[in-house]
Amino acid sequence: DAGVIQSPRHEVTEMGQEVTLRCKPISGHNSLFWYRQTMMRGLELLIYFNNNVPIDDSGMPEDRFSAKMPNASFSTLKIQPSEPRDSAVYFCASMDSNQPQHFGDGTRLSIL
Amino acid sequence: QKEVEQNSGPLSVPEGAIASLNCTYSDRGSQSFFWYRQYSGKSPELIMFIYSNGDKEDGRFTAQLNKASQYVSLLIRDSQPSDSATYLCAVNGGGGADGLTFGKGTHLIIQP
């Protein structure tokens, strides 16, 4: 079975540019999560969706961050405009009802 | 605000010995508890999950939960060098597909 698929694996861009991270959850999973991992703050939940509907976006750091899930097999996390402090590894995870979450390989984002 | 605390380590254990990893959490209403293993540069990988007080064993791994003390632990028996990694404790409020609150992880080193 294919796991959670994230793209790109690495992204390097200049401050002020728009960044779009993509995630394909495991087929049949009805919940999707976006996390960010940094050395200072560890792994933090940004937002999650149940059945394509955003449930809790309280972890989104500011209005520059937005996330969408237009269908059950695709989600995006967008940062516009990007800033150097957004540099981190961004993980997407998915789960089926009441089962543990499974993580994608992550996107390593560097904002110069 | 939900908090999950772990000793950052490093925790150094001789090969073949038992490694004991500990975690405390602040939200008394937490229902589900997870241990993830993360190798450097990789994504978190689920090792164990536990929902009820007591012990749960899976191969060389045992998860222990004490809700009264708000304490979760992971025991690794017959430690192998391949067990060297960062171990993340995660807590879920339960009631369905909620996002996880992670500790910052314990860095475990198994000495050959």
Find all residues with CB under 8 Å of A92, minimum gap 6, and list them. A4, A6, A21, A23, A25, A32, A33, A34, A35, A75, A77, A103, A104, A106
Q: Each residue of B7-22: pLDDT tens digit?
A: 988 999 999 999 999 9
The answer to whether the beta carbons of residues A89 and B43 sit under 8 Å apart is: no
**For testing contact with chain B, the best of A36, A103, A107 (most B CBs within 10 A):** A103
What average pLDDT is seen over chain A?
95
Is residue A95 pLDDT above 70, yes or no? yes
| SS3 of residue B97 by DSSP | coil
- pLDDT tens-digit readout, B18-74: 999 999 999 998 989 999 999 999 999 999 999 999 999 999 999 999 999 999 999
- Mean pLDDT score, A24-51: 95
In this complex, do A91 and B43 lie within 8 Å of one another by their Cβ atoms?
A: yes
> For position B94, what pLDDT does the model report?
59
Q: What is the mean pLDDT of residues A68-84?
A: 97
**What pLDDT score was predicted for residue A98?**
74
Q: Strands of chain B (E only): list them.
A: 4-5, 11-14, 19-25, 32-38, 45-50, 54-58, 61-66, 71-76, 85-92, 101-102, 106-111
A-chain CB neighbours of B103 within 8 Å are 42
**A43: chain B residues, CB-CB within 8 Å:** 44, 88, 102
Predicted confidence at residue B29, as pLDDT, reads: 87
- On whether the CB atoms of residues B13 and B109 are closer than 8 A, the answer is yes
